[in-house]
Structure 1
Amino acid sequence: MTALGVTAGAHRLWSHRSYKAKLPLRIFLAIANSMAFQRGFFFSHIGWLFVRKHRDVIEKGRKLDFSDLLDDPVVMFQRKHYVVSVILMCFVVPTLVPWYFWKESLWNSYFLASILRYTVSLNVAWLVNSAAHMYGYRPYDKNINPRENALVSLGAIGEGFHNYHHTFPFDYSTSELGLKFNPTTWFIDFMFWLGLVTERKQAPREMVQARKERTGDGSS
């Protein structure tokens, strides 16, 4: 649930706009994103936390079109109450659930369900921006650093198909469809089946194949 707030929510829905979600799903993803406590704070792996944004990045960032986010009441509500939602969903709720439902001690609940879960989920997410840019194959574009990394996809529930994602950033699945391990795509597809997702964007197979033949490294 925590990971879906990042992968299906902040990443595929709100950053890349690769599909549209109805209000109940957006609320769920905002809650899960608060539990993840990552939006706006961490990028690449942990070293980037100690680097100030260059003034040119800040200046050009102000020119980006965020009108869809500014018009989304769920996003703006979470932004307005972000500190409270993070404290509640990232630390308080994960501590209280095992304490209340299966009588775990508050000490164990806090350090396992809250702190350990948070630490693991952060580092797995950071691997997408570190390991998945260093180790793996580049079947779609050998001229860029992002790579297909199965281990990262396993840990980050489908976000390790990174060469594909950077080649076709608009594709909601972030990978070619098939039996590949991509729980975030499965989740979005299930929400589509329930009627909570619309307008899933995909790269046509002909486009994908043509790109592989033109710029890929020859790996499958």
Structure 2
Amino acid sequence: MTELTKRLRGTAAAEAPLVEDVFDDTYREKDGPKPPMQIVWRNVILMTLLHFGALYGLYLLPSTSVLTLAWSILCFLISALGVTAGAHRLWSHRSYKASLPLRIFLAIANSMAFQNDIYEWARDHRVHHKYSETDADPHNAVRGFFFAHIGWLLVRKHPDVIEKGQRLELSDLKQDQVVMFQRKHYKPSILLMCFIFPTVVPWYLWGESLWLAYFVPGLLRYALVLNATWLVNSAAHMWGNRPYDQHINPRENKFVAFSAIGEGFHNYHHTFPYDYATSEFGCRLNLTTCFIDMMCRLGLATDCKKVSREQVLARKQRTGDGSHRSG
């Protein structure tokens, strides 16, 4: 086996498997009435203002230069990778290993995405996998599309979400100096990377107006990244087929896979959460997997965990809905 193959096909045996993202079927929701919903009005106001600003950015698009449009797309991809390749596949699931330079880049990209710091994002995501579609799931899709998409950010967390999150083993995150540095300096990092940097570059390098640069590569790009991520929690838990496990809600959704650069193969992901590609189809509709593969070729990533073809076929025959197609 070549060194490159080893990097691309690392196995779970390379280190102890992560158990905090495995569904816990012993959890039972508490009997009796649900706790009252507490609206966080600050978040409601901020999210409303953000989306009005994004709509205005959409209105400004015809006035935007080609260079600024290209810059907006680049900022979208960078910030999306900070979530998909960073907070999700690397830090939440430990599905591959990243060198220090790559971890620093992904942390910076994650600050550009502004979706809570890596530590909090990974903690909540592990809770989501361990208690999926229950009261302990931060964005429980059983509560409806709006709640799973954005509503969960507009209300106080269910007490079970907080309780289960506090009980998780998170020593790997606490021992990662990049994660903890970003957490310590999160507010200035998001101000710089999510708002100032995307705005100043077009203004300084090719004379774009600060007004347009703020609303297009700034607010519009940020809102699009947020909604692409939220679609994984909402649409990908409601619409699509379930070729690997028909007994769970997450689905295969090609639209979400495209918009979230590879995160829409969600039935596969919840069935095999440790697979670095989150799909059996490699780079197909999966820019994040292409990015990780490229990092492996550059020697910046190693030990990518991958489910064997035999495991996939056995699982789809045992629990799938019959819609599986080999790729």
Tell me the TM-score normalised to structure 1 length.
0.96
Higher mean C-alpha deviation, range 179-188 or range 105-114: 179-188
Q: Which is worse superposed, 80-89 or 38-47? A: 38-47
| Distance of 1:178 and 1:118 partners within structure 2 | 27
Rg larger for: 2
Measure how far apart 1:59 and its partner are.
2.1
What residue is the counterpart of 1:148 in the other structure? 252
Whole-Å separation in 1 of the counterparts to 2:185 and 2:282: 39
- Structure 1, unmatched stretches of 5+, are none
Please report how far the alpha carbon of residue 52 of structure 1 lies from its aligned counterpart in structure 2 after TM superposition: 1.9
Counterpart code for 1:150: K
> Residue 192 of structure 1 aligns with which residue?
296
- Pick from 84, 88, 98 the counterpart of residue 202 of structure 2: 98
Deviation at 1:101, TM superposition (A): 1.4
Distance in 2 of aligned mates of 1:205 and 1:19:
19
Q: 1:37 maps to what in 2?
A: 114
The aligned runs of 1:74-153 (5 Å cut-off) are: 74-153=178-257
1:178/1:19 Cα in 2 relative to 1: closer, same or farther (>3 Å)? closer
- The answer as to whether partners of 2:245 and 2:321 remain within 8 angstroms in 1 is yes
Identify which of 166, 180, 183 aligns with 2:284.
Answer: 180
1:24 and 2:128 aligned: no
Aligned to 2:274: 170
Q: Percent identity at matched positions?
A: 69
The farther-off stretch of 146-155 and 42-51 is 42-51
Superposed structure 1 runs of 4+ greater than 3 Å apart: 40-44
Q: More deviation in 190-199 or 46-55?
A: 46-55
Specify the code of the residue in structure 1 equivalent to 2:322: G
Tell me which moved more, 49-58 or 66-75: 49-58
Check 1:212–1:131 CA distance in 2 against 1; reply closer, same or farther (3 A cut). same
Structure 1 CA distance for aligned equivalents of residues 107 and 233 of structure 2: 22
1:72 Cα deviation from its structure 2 partner: 0.7
Counterpart selection for 2:174 from 63, 70, 74: 70
Q: List runs of 5+ in structure 2 lacking aligned partners.
A: 1-77, 122-137, 140-147
CA-CA distance at 1:54 after TM superposition:
2.4
Measured against aligned partners, the alpha-carbon deviations of 1:172-209 in whole angstroms (never above 9, x if no partner) come to 00000345211000000100111111111111111110
Could you tell me whether the CA contact under 8 Å between 2:268 and 2:279 is conserved in 1? Answer: yes
Amino acid at match of 1:27: I
Q: Distance in 2 between matches of 1:160 and 1:57?
A: 24
Counterpart amino acid of residue 122 in structure 1: L
Give the counterpart of 2:314 among 169, 187, 210.
Answer: 210
Q: Residues 282 and 289 of structure 2 are in contact (CA less than 8 Å); yes or no, is this contact kept in structure 1?
A: no
In structure 2, what is the Cα distance between the partners aligned to 1:73 and 1:164?
31
TM-score (structure 2 length as normaliser) = 0.65
